[in-house]
Structure 1
Amino acid sequence: MSEFKVFGENHRSAEHAFQITKAIRNGDLVAAEKIRSATTALDAKRIGDCISKNESWEKEKTEVMSTIIDAKASQIKPFQEALQKCGPKSIIAEATYDDFWGTGINISATLKTNPEAWPGKNMLGTIIKDIAKNYRRKPRSWSLPRQPTRKAARASQKEITDFVSQLKEGPSKRSRENINDTSGHDTDTSEQG
């Protein structure tokens, strides 16, 4: 387990964070303390399952979980790296018998069943997939110009410095001849007749 901070408190797991928040927002401070002391996420869930929930909690629980998962992703590097590997067509499923957070079926059945046929809503999988979009490595656009390398930037800077130096010195005889030759006029008058 890796600790992370959300809602102003360090938590042992996302499950701890969710169940503590649920306990506090439903006014069960005794359960919140028990959840803080729980050594595993499963223990935290078991304590949290005994909390009486109010109507307000049912409306806000998905947003709470989204905030928790986002905090976990921003603070726990291995989780963030896993999210970066998720492609846009990846299916992320919480394969549990939970009909709201999970697929409603076990992992074997989840893997063998079309997502549209899952009895559960898979809200946790949906939240994780949505958050993964923020961490996914984006392909480099071909339309954006590439930044010059340091060597190229130094060479370019040297060219600019040399050009400015030449301007300060004034035109040389050779550069005046080049200007005359490129003007399209013949400057030699000896052949005119």
Structure 2
Amino acid sequence: MQIDGLDALKSAVSSGWVAEFLFFWGHTPKDHRVDKHVLSQWWPATFIIDGQAYATAEHYMMAQKAELFGDRDTLDAILAAPAPSQAKKLGRLVKNYDDERWIAHRFDVAVRGNLAKFGQNPELRDWLLATGETVLVEASPVDSIWGIGLAADDKRAGDPHAWPGLNLLGFALMKTRQSLRTKERAA
């Protein structure tokens, strides 16, 4: 079943579809193997878009935010940031920021970055494709935009109707997975 957002997921579950969830949060696995941690925007996986290298998907997203609002100085600082946490902090300082405009672009930005991240890193791509039709859920108790606003062990995490968050990252990754699968079948 193709689920493209929270409303579609809620509708499918209400219609009796039993969803299988893969909860993730964080980017540092205990043993450095490829696992659910690769779903994090902070996972170190260099990729190139339009000739520009990005160290992480977070760097890409924050750079695109700065570019969208014409803030070249912050864009340059984001690209030079040694860690995704610093790129994120810089992204919060983008000049001329307009929330409504960012909201209109953020999902597509996340999908484009993740298509490059997973598409250019075969081990990550294979891992993502192996998740099948599982609903990918960023179980961040502190992020109700990109995550669900709940920890994975919260009893409400298994019920999308109870999520205080949007899970935008989870749905962007699912769209990425579907696009990669379609591309693989066409090859």
Does TM, normalized by the shorter one, top 0.5? yes
The Cα of 1:133 is off from its aligned counterpart by 2.3
Contact 2:78 2:91 (C-alpha < 8 Å) held by counterparts: yes
Deviation at 1:56, TM superposition (A): 2.7
Larger strand percent: 2
1:99 to 2:166 alignment:
no
Q: Which residue of 2 aligns with 1:70?
A: 115
Structure 2: tracts of 5 or more residues without a match: 1-43, 183-187
* 1:5 corresponds to: 48
Say whether 1:40 aligns with 2:83.
yes
Q: In the alignment, is the contact (CA less than 8 A) between 1:4 and 1:12 conserved in 2?
A: yes
Distance 1:5 1:67 in 2: 11
TM superposition shift of 1:105? 2.0
Identity %: 27
Distance (Å, rounded) in 1 between the aligned partners of 2:103 and 2:157 = 31
How far, CA to CA, are the matches of 2:155 and 2:88 in structure 1? 22
Q: Which has the higher helix share?
A: 1
Counterpart of 2:77, as a letter, is K
Q: Structure 1 counterpart of 2:154, which letter?
A: A
Which structure has more relative contact order (CA 8 Å, sep 6+)? It is 2
Native 8 Å contact 2:139 2:157 kept in 1? no
Distance 1:95 1:110, change over 3 A: farther
In the other structure, the counterpart of 2:93 is 50
Give 3-state SS (helix, strand or coil) of 1:15's partner: helix
Per the normalisation by structure 2, the TM-score is: 0.65
- Report the Cα distance in structure 2 between the residues aligned to 1:136 and 1:15, rounded to whole angstroms: 23
Going from structure 1 to structure 2, the CA distance change for 1:94 and 1:112 (only over 3 Å counts) comes to closer
3-state DSSP class of the match of 2:135?
coil
> What runs of 5+ residues in structure 1 fail to find an aligned partner?
138-193
Report the count of equivalent residues: 137
Q: CA deviation at 1:95?
A: 2.0
Query: Within the alignment, does 1:129 sit opposite 2:129 as a pair?
Result: no
The 8 Å contact of residues 87 and 136 in structure 1, kept in 2 or not, is answered as: no
Decide which moves more: 46-55 or 69-78: 46-55
Q: Which has the larger radius of gyration?
A: 1
